[in-house]
Amino acid sequence: MTRRAYLVVFIVMLAVAAAAGAAYYRHRVNAAADCAMPAPPEKPATPPPALPGFRTEPACGPGAPAPATTPAAAPGNGAKKKK
């Protein structure tokens, strides 16, 4: 085959790949539009371990109310002192 024939075959293959990519992209966009938000994860079956000196704080994710206060930064924990 001549160089021109290889060029034509390459361009046709490139056009087919671009069309397939565009079709896949449209398919994914339409699939994402059907689902507004993914389902939330299930609650764990086992509770967290009770470790001495370890305290969990309330979650602040979607659907959970924000914590009333945030813990103050203690000196020595990377907090800068105010001048």
Q: Give the model confidence (pLDDT) of 4-48 as tens digits.
A: 999 999 999 999 999 999 999 988 887 776 666 667 778 878 877
Question: Per-residue pLDDT tens for 50-69?
Answer: 777 777 666 565 665 655 65
Q: What pTM does this model have?
A: 0.38
- Do 31 and 24 meet the contact criterion of CB atoms below 8 Å apart? no
DSSP string computed for 2-41: -HHHHHHHHHHHHHHHHHHHHHHHHHHHHHHHH-SSPPPP
pLDDT of residue 3: 93
* Whole-number pLDDT of residue 14: 96
For CA atoms 9, 7, 10, 15, give the dihedral sign.
negative
Per domain, the residue ranges of the chain are 1-37
